[in-house]
Amino acid sequence: MVYDFDTMVDRTSLSSQKWSFVKQRIGDPTILPMWVADMDFAVAPEIVEAIKARAAIPSYGYTQRTDGYYNGLINWMKRRHGWDGIQRDLIIFTPGVVAGFNFAVQAYSDPGDKVIVQPPCYYPFFDAIINNGRRIVNNPLKIVDGNYVMDYEDLEKKIDGRAKMIILCSPHNPVGRVWKRSELERLVEVCEKKDIVIVSDEIHNDLILGETKHTPTATISNEAMRRTVTLVATSKTFNLAGLTNSCVIIPDRKLRCIFDNVTENNRTRNTNIFGIVAQEAAYAKGEPWLEELLVYLRGNFRYLEDYIRENIPLLKVYPLEGTYLAWVDCSCLGMGDEALKEFMLKKAKLWFDEGTMFGSGGSMFMRINLACTRNTLREALTRLDKAVRELSD
Ligand SMILES: Cc1ncc(COP(=O)(O)O)c(C=O)c1O
């Protein structure tokens, strides 16, 4: 390995949400945080160098996105995800992907309309719908043969005249699925038949740990291209969430104009200088770092699976095809959701995201962030093992 993933950046005094909230919100600094989805690893040195070089020029006024910013994304999407032909004017900036799907809700639905989600799913989807005065329609994922799949019949049944759009998570946080092309084809078919917009949150598109390749929803067919709004970013891939920068790709002119108006009305077009610099450097020079990161994350997931199989077999780990967020069924511990949360925090001294946050189907699950050093993971599993053993003592 050229890059070092065994050393963590100490963020306890850096205003890091993941680390600072342990003391501020839970009040116990001995708890190990493995919740919010960012990484404990150092950012790729190529990106750090680019930021340092720009920071050395003492002028941080209003700025423009560069050719390298756009071309980097266009080339990356073509090379890594097989999406050819993205033009620069199809890309709209948003200050983060969460802002992006909030704008999409405002753009493609009216107050009182219905927006479909597939729980268990990333919980800010729910907030975006509710906070904008729309109604949530759940199209829950099903577990078939030990893994999650979409329920197309249920989806079709639930799309009535008030349902305007679906927010898709691809790859899916928290269940770790990388949707196969054939699965996305069926989804697009239903959305086409019922004429709804697909907002495809693909923030985890580069974090592919298993065999299935990520397929951008828009590339499924011409029809998909016309109705899909794709949200991408360097933030998860390269651990840059604090730079609040993301891109929305909208090939259809009408959908793009509507979205663009929302960003204009919200006055969010100005970009963080370092977000621009970091995206350009990440897409131009970050690939070797990413390849090594993926090797390390796969190793972490294998370590977790093996450890749990050998030591805590009451827990069931779901396959992790994508993202670095393991999804673990704790129902065999035989407690309720509140008790499980207490158990993790107070007995195991671990802060995972509890499954109930992700809506229906999340009960008795924990989402474990594996973007940490192997040592941190070992420590977490040792604590968990000890706490579970004490349950039966
Ligand atoms: C599916 C999904 N979308 C969006 C985000 C956050 O995006 P941002 O920080 O760019 O707003 C996350 C973070 O975990 C995520 O998992």
pLDDT score of 154? 98
Per-residue confidence band for 23, with pLDDT thresholds at 50, 70 and 90: confident
By the 10 Å C-beta count (0-12 exposed, 13-18 middle, 19+ buried), 295 is classed as: middle
Report, as an integer, the average pLDDT of 262-272: 91
Say whether pLDDT at 126 is over 80.
yes
Say whether pLDDT at 338 is over 80.
yes
Say whether pLDDT at 393 is over 80.
no
Distance 372 CA to ligand 1 centre (A): 18
Q: How far apart are CA 206 and CA 291, in angstroms?
A: 10
Reported as type and span, the H/E element at residue 341 is helix 337-342
Of the candidates 364, 356, 366, 363, the residue with the CA atom closest to the CA atom of residue 304: 366
Atom of ligand 1 nearest to the CA of 235: 10
pLDDT score of 13? 84
Contacts of 372 (CB under 8 A, 6+ apart): 8, 34, 39, 40, 300, 380
The model's pLDDT over 28-62, given as tens digits with 9 standing for 90+, comes to 999 999 999 999 999 999 999 999 999 999 999 99
Distance 18 CA to ligand 1 centre (A): 14
Q: Kindly report the length of the chain.
A: 393
Say whether pLDDT at 326 is over 90.
yes
Find residue 369's DSSP bridge partners: 325
Please, what is the end-to-end C-alpha distance for the chain in angstroms? 43
Ligand 1 lined by 104 (C-beta under 6 Å): no
Distance 321 CA to ligand 1 centre (A): 18
pLDDT score of 25? 86
Of the candidates 4, 16, 9, 45, the residue with the CA atom closest to the CA atom of residue 285: 45
Say whether pLDDT at 218 is over 80.
yes
The model's pLDDT over 237-255, given as tens digits with 9 standing for 90+, comes to 999 999 999 999 999 999 9
Sign of CA dihedral 377, 382, 383, 389: positive
pLDDT score of 181? 98
Distance 113 CA to ligand 1 centre (A): 24
What percent of the chain is modeled with pLDDT above 90? 94
pLDDT score of 292? 98
Ligand 1 lined by 37 (C-beta under 6 Å): yes
Ligand 1 lined by 217 (C-beta under 6 Å): no
The model's pLDDT over 73-122, given as tens digits with 9 standing for 90+, comes to 999 999 999 999 999 999 999 999 999 999 999 999 999 999 999 999 99
Q: Mean pLDDT for the chain? A: 97
- Helical axes 273-285 vs 45-55, angle rounded to 10°: 140
Report, as an integer, the average pLDDT of 364-381: 98
Report, as an integer, the average pLDDT of 59-68: 96
CB-based contact 174:120 (threshold 8 Å): yes
Return the residue matching tokens 């499924």. 220
Ligand 1 lined by 197 (C-beta under 6 Å): no
Distance 203 CA to ligand 1 centre (A): 6
pLDDT score of 360? 96
Per-residue confidence band for 26, with pLDDT thresholds at 50, 70 and 90: confident
pLDDT score of 12? 87
Sign of CA dihedral 234, 237, 238, 241: positive
Report, as an integer, the average pLDDT of 157-186: 98
Return the residue matching tokens 């890309």. 91
Ligand 1 lined by 207 (C-beta under 6 Å): no
CB-based contact 190:155 (threshold 8 Å): yes
Q: How far apart are CA 223 and CA 386, in angstroms?
A: 53
Q: 147-149 and 246-249 as β-strands: parallel, antiparallel, unpaired?
A: unpaired
Q: Is 326 helix (H, G, I), strand (E, B) or coil?
A: strand
Phi, psi of 300 (to 5 degrees): -65, -45
Among 102, 167, 170, 173, residue to substitute to test ligand 1 (most atoms within 8 Å of Cβ):
173
Which one-letter DSSP state was computed for residue 347?
I
